[in-house]
Amino acid sequence: MILEINGLTKNFGGLTAVSGIDIKVNDGEVLGLIGPNGAGKSTFFNLITGVIPPTKGKIIFKGKDITGKRPHEIAELGIGRTFQLNPLFPNFTVLQNVISSFQIRPRSNWLDTFFNTPVYRKNEAYILEQSLEILNLVGLYKVKDELAKNQPHGYQKMLGVARALAIKPSLLLLDEPIAGMNPDEIDNTIEAIKRTSQRGVTIILVEHNMKILEICNRVVVINFGQKIVEGSPQEIKENPEVIRAYLGSGHDTKH
Amino acid sequence: MGSMIAARDSSSRRKNYTQIILYGILICFLLFIPLFFQSPYVLHLFILTLVYIIAAASMRFIMTSGQIPLAHAAFLGLGAYVSAVLSKHVGLSPWLSLFIAAFVAMGVGIFISFPFARLKAFYYAMVSLFFGVGLLQAIESLGKLTGGLAGITAIPTLFNTASKVPYYYCFLALTLVSLVILYRFEVSRIGWNLKAIDQSYLVSSSVGISEVKYRVLAVAIGCFFVGLAGGMYANYNVTLSPSSFDSSVTLWMIIYVTIGGMNNFSGPIIGTAVLFLIPQYFSGLKQYAPFISAAILFLVIFMFRNGLVCIPGLLMAFYKRKKSTSKSR
């Protein structure tokens, strides 16, 4: 088990965004997380990655309690993430975006960095090589020298994945990776996610699109900050409670 | 970041040679300035320009991390007064007090930036603004030590001569060393991380950049060099008064940086040289000097939005376009 979440709760003033969620994530699986808008999915990601501290509950990653750690510390432990609204480094090129995401493995110390020693140069050469490989993997090699802000939405989303891969994560959190993409881009992205998963990276993804749920081993549905169902993608599709959550309770009574 | 520079363009090597030659010519010219300009007043202006170049370059260094140091002139004053008080009242050698001043400024910078580094970069602007005002008030009210509003006089100098030539060479060396250090930081991964934090602190923390560490580091390095510049100023100028370090001086520094070119390392250097030196040099036209500054400001704002540094590039592009159109005819 790579990640274990016990009773995770977050209150924003009087509003409970996430209330008492328990989730266990197995090593190497692809876990889908779905729920209607405002169900608390992005808050859940922000809690895991330390962007906001939880009110209550525990997050255990690889047997270590990471509750309340800062985002950069959590990145160091090997949890990579992308964002729903997909912020990036707009004034860097695509390649520079990935290169500057290599902060942890390898990391040069300040003296090496300042004096541009052979150690630092070796690290940077390795980083360049790895970055190009990642860009190849996500299919952005052809635009590597263009500014990130000039890229179309789909490319920016993929750049987010590339950036998350640069920290060499063992757990990758993808927040709506295919939202707003065209069918071609969706196929490419799903392909890239599959390849990443085959490398042994555990993936949690949030998505509305049912197409992507097919690559998930397991799906968890949350609504109003609570876990309502958990099961295989097929079971989830047929579950009346899930249908009610998405379409409203009127759906059942009309039949 | 070595690999980033390598990745940027393939023609960088040829550009490097021309750059080295240009810098060589510039440094030779700077070395011969005391021979060209015998007048002590002109030399005095060059010396002050060097001090302000360090201040503006260090300010830009902090600004690359997205923080706006609105107390930079006050930090210049802090360095100046610490060095002045230590060399005058405590009796330390000015050479020692100069560097103590730099470290004190760095320490104070860390102290005020650390509690706010977790918040948005904007808070540093607010905090430093308040701090700058408070620091000047403190200097004015500590009359016994600092001379209050009237200022401090008879500060021990670095050299025991009336000539300004040794100051010029000494400050030129200190400025070059400071600029080389700042440049090394800027082009290394540290500088890129600062720029990354400026663009998105959310993304940078998600890939493992500690925004607290780097923001504080930026302020620490920036304040160190501005403190050094302050110490140099104090032990050269012999007298100090609080009015030389009020917030209008900070505004001038911001103008030097932005007009010179915020996105380029040489921006603040060119900005200071143009906007500080030229109006002073034409100070025979005393009341018109501000108009000359204003004319340059307007010119830059309307025509060269990336600052004065982008002019050679624009000229090159213009020249190339002209050549290609004449060829096609």
Q: Rounded to an integer, what distance in angstroms lies between the CA atom of residue A148 and that of residue A159?
A: 8
Query: Quick check: B83 pLDDT over 60?
Result: yes
Whether the pLDDT of residue B295 is over 50: the answer is yes
* Torsion angle in degrees (nearest 10) through CA of A116, A120, A121, A122: 160
Distance from CA of A132 to the nearest CA of B (A): 10
Neighbours of A182 (CB within 10 A): 12
What is the model's pLDDT at position B281? 67
- Interchain CB contact of A121 with B (< 8 Å): yes
Binned at pLDDT 50, 70 and 90, residue B52 comes out as very high
Range with lowest mean pLDDT among A246-250, B40-44, B226-230, B303-307:
A246-250
Q: Which of A89, A144, A167 sits opposite B208 (nearest CB)?
A: A167
pLDDT 10s digits, A123-160: 999 999 999 999 988 888 999 999 999 998 888 988 99
Confidence of residue B283 (pLDDT cuts 50, 70, 90): low
CA distance A225 to chain B (A): 23
Which of A89, A93, A128 is opposite residue B203, by nearest beta carbon? A89
| Residues of chain B found within 8 Å of residue A71, distances taken between Cβ atoms | 205-206
Domains and CATH numbers, chain B: 37-328 (1.10.3470)
Q: How far does CA A216 lie from the centroid of its chain? A: 14
Q: Which residues of B touch A125 (CB under 8 A)?
A: 2-3
Residue of A73, A100, A144, A165 to mutate for B, most B C-beta atoms under 10 A: A100
Is pLDDT at B261 greater than 80 in this prediction? yes
**Residues above pLDDT 70, as percent of chain B:** 93
How far from each other are the two terminal CA atoms of chain A, in whole angstroms?
Answer: 42
User: Is some CB atom of chain A closer than 8 A to the CB atom of B97?
Assistant: no
pLDDT in tens, A15-28: 888 888 899 999 98
Half-sphere exposure at residue A21, Cβ-oriented, CA atoms within 13 angstroms: 37
Please say whether the beta carbons of A202 and A29 come within 8 A. Answer: yes
Q: Is A91 on the interface with B (CB under 8 A)?
A: yes
pLDDT digits (tens, 9 = 90+) for B87-133: 999 989 999 999 999 999 999 999 999 988 877 778 888 989 999 99
A237 vs A242: CA distance, rounded Å: 7
How far apart are the CA of A142 and the nearest CA of chain B, in angstroms? Answer: 14
Model confidence band, residue B6 (pLDDT cutoffs 50, 70, 90) = very low
3-state secondary structure chain B: CHHHHHHHCCCHHHHHHHHHHHHHHHHHHHHHHHHHCCCHHHHHHHHHHHHHHHHHHHHHHHHCCCCCCCCHHHHHHHHHHHHHHHHHHHCCCHHHHHHHHHHHHHHHHHHHHHHHCCCCCHHHHHHHHHHHHHHHHHHHHCHHHHCHHHCECCCCCCCCCCCCHHHHHHHHHHHHHHHHHHHHHHHCHHHHHHHHHHHCHHHHHHCCCCHHHHHHHHHHHHHHHHHHHHHHHHHHHCCECHHHHCHHHHHHHHHHHHHHCCCCCCHHHHHHHHHHHHHHHCHHHHHHHHHHHHHHHHHHHHHCCCCHHHHHHHHHHHHHHHHHHHHHC
Lowest-pLDDT range, A128-142, A161-175, A237-251? A237-251
Q: Which residue of B has its CA nearest to A129?
A: B3
Top-ranked range on mean pLDDT: pick from A39-53, A76-90, B221-235: B221-235
Distances (CA, A) of A217 to A35, A223, A235, B48: 17, 20, 11, 69
Grade residue B10 by pLDDT with cuts at 50, 70 and 90.
Answer: very low
Q: Is B208 in contact with A164 (Cβ distance < 8 A)?
A: no
Give the lowest-confidence range in A159-173, B100-114, B313-327: B313-327
pLDDT of residue B194: 94
Within 8 A of A83 by CB-CB distance, chain B residues are 202-203, 206
C-alpha distance from residue A42 to each of A37, A210, B301 (Å): 10, 18, 42
Share of chain A above pLDDT 70, in %: 96
- B/e letters for A204-242, b = 16+ CB within 10 Å, e = fewer, are bbbbeeeebbebbebbbbbbebebbbbeebeebeebeeb
**Nearest by CB to B189, which of A51, A73, A113?**
A113
For the segment A210-234, the average pLDDT, to the nearest whole number, is 86
Q: Is the pLDDT of residue B195 over 90?
A: yes
Residue B307 in this model has a pLDDT that exceeds 90:
no
| Average pLDDT in chain B | 87
Interface predicted TM-score (ipTM) of this complex, two decimals: 0.87
More confident residue, B224 or B20: B224
Amino acid identity, residue A34? I
Confidence of residue B7 (pLDDT cuts 50, 70, 90): very low
Distance in Å, alpha carbon of B192 to nearest chain A alpha carbon: 7
Query: Where exactly are the structural domains of chain A?
Result: 3-87+152-253
- Residue-wise pLDDT for B159-194, tens only, equals 888 888 999 999 999 999 999 999 999 999 999 999
Check B205 against A92: CB less than 8 A apart.
no
- CB pair distance less than 8 Å for B189 and A71: no
Contacts of B206 in chain A (CB under 8 A): 49, 71, 75, 80-81, 83, 163-164
Chain B residues 187-216 within an 8 A CB cutoff of chain A: 188-190, 192-193, 195-196, 199-200, 202-212
Does A167 sit within 8 Å of B4, measured CB to CB? no
- Chain-chain contact of B200 with A89 (C-beta, under 8 angstroms): yes
Could A89 and B206 be called an inter-chain contact, meaning their C-beta atoms sit closer than 8 Å?
no
Taking the C-alpha atoms of residue B68 and residue B78, their distance in angstroms, rounded to an integer, is 18
Question: pLDDT tens digit string along B206-238?
Answer: 999 998 999 999 999 999 999 999 999 999 998
Q: Which residues of B touch A93 (CB under 8 A)?
A: 7-8
According to the model, what pLDDT value does residue A82 have? 92
Residue A98: pLDDT over 60:
yes
Q: Which CATH superfamily is domain A3-87+152-253 in?
A: P-loop containing nucleotide triphosphate hydrolases (3.40.50.300)
Helix axes B72-85, B40-63, angle to 10 degrees: 120
The model's confidence at residue B79, banded by pLDDT at 50, 70 and 90, is very high
Burial track B193-217 (b if 16+ CB lie within 10 A, e otherwise): bbbbbbbbbebbbbbbbbbbebbbb
